[in-house]
Amino acid sequence: MTKVRHMPVAPTRAQRLASGAGIDAHRHDDHQIVYAGRGVLGVTTGSGSWVAPATRAVWVPAGTVHAHQAHGDLELHLVGLPAGDDPLGLREPAVLAVAPLLRELILAYTRAPRDGGPEHGRLRAVLLDQLRVAPQRPLHLPTPTAPQLVRLWEILRADPADGRTLAALGRQVGASGRTLSRLFRSDLGMTFPQWRTQLRLHHALILLAEGMPVTVVAHRCGWSSASAFIDVFRRVFGCTPGAYRGPA
């Protein structure tokens, strides 16, 4: 992301984005909650990317340069919060679990007229209360900076189903498996298996948003069977791949 727009006030609104459309890199002086009521939302920053279906929302702290990408027809809901009004106390972006009540609050708040009246104030107060208790979900896919990891990332991004060991991949990128394993921990803060699972889940969400059948998604993303994919997906997202988008 090279050209960055400065938008001081983070908007609070609902809008639709066609599949493949996006919002270019920008930053706000406010915090922002970004939520996909339908479709899958991709949020990219300089440190990595976050992908969130309708069971998740992305917290973007004030000052963070970020861009949005729609996967599938996206119903985007944006909630701006002044920098001094921080229910989470987080300095980095994060993915939050969206329970049914929080979902309805976000939808209502972004669709309601912002007239400053008492009803709007009460809605906002309950929304902030629910954000404070929303669990975080580890769905961040950090972007590597070490040259060997960048080359490995390009290989697996092109083919998430590539099941080679770290040692075998290392021979292609010019580093030993031990060196790569050390780089994963120091550069990305996670192990190679953890990172590859995140990469595959991110890719799976995008393919599912494009309407691809679950069995095909499972094999294209490297799972040996649809049942193995469904098991991992349910553990991470709390629902099956077929239901992850939430209510239409």
- The 10s digit of each residue's pLDDT in 91-132 is 888 889 899 999 999 999 998 777 677 888 899 899 999 999
pTM over 0.85: no
CA distance to 12, 29, 161, 228, per residue, from 63 (Å): 17, 5, 36, 40
Domain residue ranges in the chain: 5-140, 144-237
* Separation CA 121–CA 113 (nearest Å): 11
Q: What is the pLDDT at residue 247?
A: 43
CATH class, domain 5-140, is mainly beta
Q: What is the pLDDT at residue 1?
A: 44
Low-confidence ranges of the chain (pLDDT < 50): 1, 245-248
Q: What is the pLDDT at residue 248?
A: 39
Residue 238 corresponds to which amino acid?
G
Q: What is the pLDDT at residue 11?
A: 87
Q: What is the pLDDT at residue 143?
A: 85
Q: What is the pLDDT at residue 242?
A: 79
Q: Does residue 92 sit in helix, strand or coil? A: coil
| Tokens (6 digits) for 239 | 């629902």
CATH topology for the 144-237 domain: Arc Repressor Mutant, subunit A (1.10.10)
